[in-house]
């Protein structure tokens, strides 16, 4: 039986504040959740560091947004100020539920909600940066995650492998971590990620614009071009593939990032100089780029639940991924794609070459991937599970039977 939406008191409908470090996280993973909830009697407002996406939420969906002085890097003074400001926002807004995500956004949200007296504090674990960090930074990240989880009253992980990893890495009680449905944040918009005639035409035109030959076999990637995504390994593997496959091309959709996670300088040199590598800046309109690809590769070192692999699967594309946290939930080896060991360049190159040479296998994997996304990861299914979570929390405080959702 579906839980009914309950009016909390004479102030009206339940109110939820969704908090992330950067506004792009909200736009990428939770774009349609506020409107979905509004239609069902729940008001959801948003808070994050100021960015264009907050303006998009406000203008396109009429969602109330709060800009916070947040950065991804650790800054004790600024972070304390952000907690105080957010606590004031929560008190003034009289929010019933505060839902935070990402390491920094989650910590700020949980501490602010606790300070404001909110008893329903939900934390979504989207990934685990500590998994690939070392030394003092690793220790610090683990401590921060433990603090966030201990402050939250409900803790969600976006994949089962991430749930297992945080329990191993952070010493967290497995009974404290839950996964909504089969995972992801809010699923995949199957209408948007679909091979319509219009999309197919755009893909053909895009290949012309990118100066790709008619017989080009395009290996694709979209996202941040950083070390943890396995870009160094992908470029090395592609160099091997290019020697044996004269029509193989690599298409990277994303931006180089500076700082601790940047790729090797030699890798960037290859990307910028190789005549069969194309790189374009990141765009929110990825559908035509998927259509221009023949397969998608993500040899990542860690993930939460990589949307890249699910979006590609929804577009009937086979995927090649590493056996890393999150990737093993998104790609099923031999069923929707191929899995390779983390950091194994030769195995990655062999998997790419195998799919290039075997069109029937590519077609079978792509069709199975689309069917799996339709069954387990549709946006509608995950939106409904968030609605059920919030309404159940309103009825039962922090004793929601999440495992049954």
> What would the mean pLDDT of 166-185 be, rounded to a whole number?
89
Residue 317, in any domain of the structure: yes
> What would the mean pLDDT of 112-120 be, rounded to a whole number?
97
Q: What is the pLDDT of residue 250?
A: 98
CA atoms within a 13 Å half-sphere pointing along the CA-CB vector of 240: 16
Res. 258 pLDDT band, cuts 50 70 90: confident
Which range marks the domain in which residue 77 is found?
15-187+379-404
Q: What is the pLDDT of residue 405?
A: 58
Q: Quick one: tokens of 113?
A: 């909600």
Integer Cα distance of 237 and 265 in angstroms: 16
pLDDT of 55 > 80? The answer is: yes
Residue-wise pLDDT tens digits, 379-395: 999 999 999 999 999 98
Tell me which of 380 and 399 has the higher pLDDT.
Answer: 380
Same domain, 224 and 291: yes
- In the chain, the percentage of residues whose pLDDT exceeds 70 is 95
Q: What is the pLDDT of residue 222?
A: 98
CA atoms within a 13 Å half-sphere pointing along the CA-CB vector of 403: 5
Res. 398 pLDDT band, cuts 50 70 90: low
Residue 192, in any domain of the structure: no
Q: What is the pLDDT of residue 2?
A: 38
- In the chain, the percentage of residues whose pLDDT exceeds 90 is 84
Same domain, 131 and 64: yes
Res. 169 pLDDT band, cuts 50 70 90: confident
Same domain, 24 and 104: yes
pLDDT of 168 > 90? The answer is: no
Q: What is the pLDDT of residue 73?
A: 73
Integer Cα distance of 322 and 290 in angstroms: 20
Q: What is the pLDDT of residue 81?
A: 92
Residue 9, in any domain of the structure: no
Q: Which residues contact 356 (CB under 8 A, 6 or more apart)?
A: 217, 241, 245, 248, 294
Same domain, 250 and 208: yes
Same domain, 206 and 319: yes
Residue 113, in any domain of the structure: yes
Same domain, 145 and 270: no
Q: Is the pTM of this model over 0.75?
A: yes
Q: What is the mean pLDDT of the chain?
A: 93
Residue-wise pLDDT tens digits, 184-201: 999 999 999 999 999 999
Same domain, 145 and 19: yes
- Are 354 and 360 in contact by the 8 Å Cβ rule? The answer is no
Residue-wise pLDDT tens digits, 80-110: 999 999 999 999 999 999 999 988 999 999 9
> What would the mean pLDDT of 288-313 be, rounded to a whole number?
98
- Are 169 and 178 in contact by the 8 Å Cβ rule? The answer is no
Integer Cα distance of 19 and 151 in angstroms: 15
Q: What is the pLDDT of residue 396?
A: 79
CATH of the domain at 275: 3.40.50.2000
Q: What is the pLDDT of residue 397?
A: 60
Same domain, 164 and 208: no
Residue 7, in any domain of the structure: no
Instruction: Order across the sheet with 120-125: list the strands.
Output: 65-68, 43-49, 15-22, 97-101, 120-125, 154-157, 177-178
Same domain, 173 and 83: yes
Q: What is the pLDDT of residue 6?
A: 41
Same domain, 171 and 125: yes
Tell me which of 33 and 143 has the higher pLDDT.
Answer: 33
> What would the mean pLDDT of 51-64 be, rounded to a whole number?
97
Residue 364, in any domain of the structure: yes
Residue 225, in any domain of the structure: yes
Integer Cα distance of 24 and 30 in angstroms: 10
Integer Cα distance of 53 and 29 in angstroms: 12
Tell me which of 76 and 225 has the higher pLDDT.
Answer: 225
Same domain, 251 and 372: yes
- Are 303 and 223 in contact by the 8 Å Cβ rule? The answer is no
Q: What is the pLDDT of residue 75?
A: 75
- Are 172 and 267 in contact by the 8 Å Cβ rule? The answer is no
Same domain, 161 and 220: no
Worst-scoring range by mean pLDDT, 44-58, 62-76, 203-217, 239-253?
Answer: 62-76
Pick the closest to residue 87 from 19, 8, 10 (CA basis). 19
Domain count, the chain: 2
Integer Cα distance of 151 and 368 in angstroms: 40
> What would the mean pLDDT of 132-150 be, rounded to a whole number?
91
Q: What is the pLDDT of residue 5?
A: 39
Burial class (CB in 10 A: 0-12, 13-18, 19+), 375: exposed
Residue 10, in any domain of the structure: no
């Amino acid at each position: 039986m579906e839980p009914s939406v309950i009016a909390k008191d004479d102030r009206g409908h339940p109110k939820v504040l969704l908090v992330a470090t950067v506004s792009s996280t909200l736009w990428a993973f939770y774009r349609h959740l506020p409107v979905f909830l509004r239609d069902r009697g729940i008001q959801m407002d948003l808070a994050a560091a100021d960015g264009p996406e907050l303006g998009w939420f406000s203008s396109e969906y009429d969602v109330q947004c709060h800009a916070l002085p947040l950065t991804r890097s650790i800054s004790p003074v600024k972070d304390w100020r952000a907690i105080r400001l957010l606590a004031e926002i929560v008190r003034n807004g009289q929010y019933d539920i505060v839902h935070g995500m990402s390491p920094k956004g989650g910590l700020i949200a949980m501490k602010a909600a606790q300070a404001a007296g909110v008893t329903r504090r939900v934390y979504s674990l989207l990934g685990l940066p500590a998994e690939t960090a070392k030394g003092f930074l690793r220790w610090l990240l683990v401590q921060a995650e433990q603090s966030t989880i201990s402050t939250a009253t409900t803790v969600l992980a976006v994949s089962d492998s991430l749930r297992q990893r945080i329990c191993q890495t952070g010493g967290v009680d497995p009974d404290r971590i839950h996964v909504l449905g089969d995972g992801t944040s809010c699923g995949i918009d199957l209408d948007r990620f679909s091979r319509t005639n219009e999309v197919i035409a755009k893909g053909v035109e895009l290949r012309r614009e990118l100066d790709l030959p008619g017989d080009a076999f395009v290996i694709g990637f979209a996202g941040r071009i950083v070390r943890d995504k396995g870009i160094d390994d992908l470029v090395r593997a592609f160099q091997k593939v290019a020697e044996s496959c004269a029509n193989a091309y690599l298409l990277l959709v994303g931006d180089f990032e500076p700082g601790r996670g940047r790729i090797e300088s030699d890798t960037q040199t290859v990307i910028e100089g190789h005549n069969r590598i194309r790189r374009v800046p990141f765009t929110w309109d990825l559908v035509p780029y998927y259509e221009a690809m023949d397969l998608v590769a993500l040899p990542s070192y860690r993930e939460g639940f990589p949307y890249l692999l699910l979006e590609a699967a929804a577009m009937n594309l086979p995927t090649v991924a590493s056996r890393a946290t999150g990737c093993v939930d998104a790609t099923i080896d031999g069923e929707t794609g191929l899995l390779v060991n983390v950091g194994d360049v030769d195995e990655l190159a062999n998997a790419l070459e195998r799919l290039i040479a075997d069109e029937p296998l590519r077609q079978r994997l792509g069709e199975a991937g689309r069917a799996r996304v339709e069954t387990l990861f549709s946006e509608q299914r995950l939106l409904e599970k968030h609605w059920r979570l919030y309404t159940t929390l309103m009825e039962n405080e922090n004793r929601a039977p999440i495992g049954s959702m």
